[in-house]
Amino acid sequence: MRPSKFRASIAWTPAGTVGKVIETFYFTLKDLNDPHPPFSIREIVIPWLQEGNEPDRETGLTDCKGKEIYEGDIVVNDSLAGGFIGHIVWDTACLLIAFNDDSSVFTALDEDFSCLEVKGNIHENPELLETKIEGAKDGNDQDDDLR
């Protein structure tokens, strides 16, 4: 069994700079338990987790371009009739997509994930969820900014 991977988009201020930057860190539980972790884990990720923040979990699946899919990823599917845009969430027992037109509507993803394409994530690119694709699930026919 391979180790679970996590992703954290963290705003922090690097030494010698002014202002915060958002940086994405990838890590495993082994990284967190390492007695001599790298600087990024020791000084940025662990304190961020201790503040009560939760990282995105890897799903173990890949999109149509071979990119790993994480919780919080914004995905597009234009291969199905009407297509859709939404973001990946974990429910207690399964992986779901929250659609951009109504975040209270979820659909279980027991289908082939190869039809999905990761376009960003809700932490670094939340504006992508406001984008409509032509003929999308909500029925709006607006310009397609994501294809």
Rounded average pLDDT per 10-residue block, the chain, 147 residues: 83 86 92 93 94 92 89 81 75 71 53 78 86 51 45
Q: Give pLDDT, residue 132.
A: 63
The CATH number corresponding to 60-130 among 3.30.70.2660, 3.40.50.1100, 3.20.20.70, 2.30.30.290 equals 2.30.30.290
SS (H, E, C) the chain: CCCCEEEEEEEECCCCCCCCEEEEEEEEHHHHHCCCCCHHHHHHHHHHHHCCCCCEEEEEEECCCCCEEECCEEEEECCCCCCEEEEEEECCCCEEEEECCCCCCEEECCCCHHHCEEEEECCCCHHHHHCCCCCCCCCCCCCCCCC
pTM (2 decimals)? Answer: 0.76
pLDDT attached to residue 51: 96
What residues does each domain of the chain span?
5-50, 60-130
Tokens of 27: 């890590």
pLDDT at position 44 is: 94
